Chains A and B, each alone.
Chain A
């Protein structure tokens, strides 16, 4: 029997029964609920809202948190497999889950008070409140320490002023985790609620990538928040970056799902497409291309699986995550490009998945630390010299 291209190296055997069960649930969910509608939603530039309660019902938000906050206490590998399957559907769907769980909920869980946790986390697990994570600004992306947004201390609490840009789910969010510099130049985290006076949001409408995901601007025009809205556990920029490590871990898995989808599509398509009297798959150049794709998929799967084991063992460093994010995104992007090529003209339509994954992955290559930024993080780890 030929090997299964989706699990060529029997990596399944590295996972526990419940990890596989989590994967299977999300896989079926994506096949049934996402695949049939995602091309059209993407083209329209809409996030498919009806998926939110369905994802919540399956427990996809905050799934690694303890049960008392509505989580399922998922292992890192189970969480990774969930992200892989979501991104097999669309990077925008995985982004939604990343931002909700690994950025917003994780920040509240890790740096929030017990009161903040109890107030927000169960509602966010249930999908009733959406979160967003406001770090990037028009003039501060790769270098978030250069942020201009300010938090001024007053008798009653804090006043926030500034603009955040490129914020996933900004207009959908009931609660925004907003990062701002205080008067001592220290970075602080705040929970800003939808509708607070001075707080407005607007969607960015000209994206040609990640179209099935909402990306917004947040305007903070002297927004007054009480001290109770500050995340007291935050210790400077490092705290904001630690949330990114969580999300990047999920991305290292997620993009492999997009690559798997492209590989499957290319195998199926070339088997039935006839060129010069033969199936495209019977041509040497095609077979080399498919092998190139498979090699990247298997490499990504192995890297993600090992990353998961290291995380479960508590030995994970952010540089481990940087290398995996950098490699897996870029290799998956290459796989998507090859799929697009093999599909010819069909490859540029949303009837197929190739171009949608391909241009989505251009975003993934940039956000959560651009490719070059991860080179610099790993480079510093290798040489001891910061070259940012």
Chain B
């Protein structure tokens, strides 16, 4: 079976985002990048599929600048067999529509049985690309998947979705697109051996020409939406989210209430 995993390289969620006045994108100086956490669930699910089903060929695909190869390297270290970087200066100013179109062009002809993506990228939170890729490829899509089972012989997959107050189980004929929701699995860390082996694996770069896309389909020109303004609100609220098991977060919360909020 062939599985493609779409990964986006996004600013670390702990980065304090800065925007230069007048700019319509974030200031990338000093920003560290990570794989968007929902894409990590997608990647982990591909690895679990391989562990369950045996021969599963995993291709990681990212669209972004050269720096996005780091996200792909991580996927290779985790166990992806190969990787594709979709990259072209002409993508500057692209929106989620252009991104999905380009990714679909890169995936076309790859004969992937499953295409896995995160439900949204944590930088722009558009929650658009997985669904739109399915549309461009004329494939079914199941969003917000929290459980996935593949029946190789039947060429089908059964996915569960946890919705507000109820759950749904959906069967779909492959090939299909799935977007991962938190709870799908527990992503592993790349082992040292995998990191060293990843150095020898190939990352193919596809530019606009290789994808057969015309200049007017790319970048700001091809985009369906336009960013008018971008700024950091002057008084950012100081939100703190504690993640982890209740047994760990509860004492931490008490500590914060006592020492930071000073309400105890």
Seen from chain A, the residues whose Cβ lies within 8 Å of a Cβ on chain B are 1, 4, 17-18, 21-22, 25, 28-29, 36, 57-60, 63, 67, 72-74, 78, 82, 272-273, 351
Residues of A contacting B70 in the complex (Cβ-Cβ under 8 angstroms): 17
Q: Is B73 in contact with A25, judged by CB distance below 8 angstroms?
A: no
**With A21-B73, A72-B196, A272-B259 in contact, is A57–B30 under 8 Å at CB?**
no
Residues of B contacting A78 in the complex (Cβ-Cβ under 8 angstroms): 192
Q: Is A25 in contact with B191, judged by CB distance below 8 angstroms?
A: yes
Cβ distance B208 to chain A, nearest Cβ, rounded Å = 26
Closest to B247 in A: A36
Residues of B contacting A73 in the complex (Cβ-Cβ under 8 angstroms): 196
CB neighbors of A among B46-77 (8 A): 70, 73-74, 77
Residues of A contacting B190 in the complex (Cβ-Cβ under 8 angstroms): 21, 25
- Is B193 engaged at the interface, CB distance under 8 Å to the other chain? yes
Q: Is A18 in contact with B195, judged by CB distance below 8 angstroms?
A: yes
Residues of A contacting B13 in the complex (Cβ-Cβ under 8 angstroms): none
Given contacts A72-B192, A73-B196, 4 further A-B contacts (CB under 8 A): A4-B30, A17-B73, A63-B192, A273-B259
Q: Is A28 in contact with B189, judged by CB distance below 8 angstroms?
A: yes
A382, B73: Cα distance in complex, Å: 45
Chain B: interface size category: 20 to 34
Q: Is A74 in contact with B196, judged by CB distance below 8 angstroms?
A: yes
- Is B199 engaged at the interface, CB distance under 8 Å to the other chain? yes
The SS class assigned to the B binding surface is helix
Q: Is B73 in contact with A58, judged by CB distance below 8 angstroms?
A: no
Q: Is B18 in contact with A25, judged by CB distance below 8 angstroms?
A: no
- Is B244 engaged at the interface, CB distance under 8 Å to the other chain? yes
**With A1-B30, A18-B195 in contact, is A58–B189 under 8 Å at CB?**
yes
- Is B29 engaged at the interface, CB distance under 8 Å to the other chain? yes
The digit string for B15-50, where 1 denotes a CB below 8 A from any CB of A, is 010100000000001100000000000000000000
Closest to B245 in A: A36
- Is B138 engaged at the interface, CB distance under 8 Å to the other chain? no
- Is B164 engaged at the interface, CB distance under 8 Å to the other chain? no
- Is B260 engaged at the interface, CB distance under 8 Å to the other chain? yes
- Is B229 engaged at the interface, CB distance under 8 Å to the other chain? no
Cβ distance A82 to chain B, nearest Cβ, rounded Å = 8
A250, B191: Cα distance in complex, Å: 19
Cβ distance B164 to chain A, nearest Cβ, rounded Å = 29
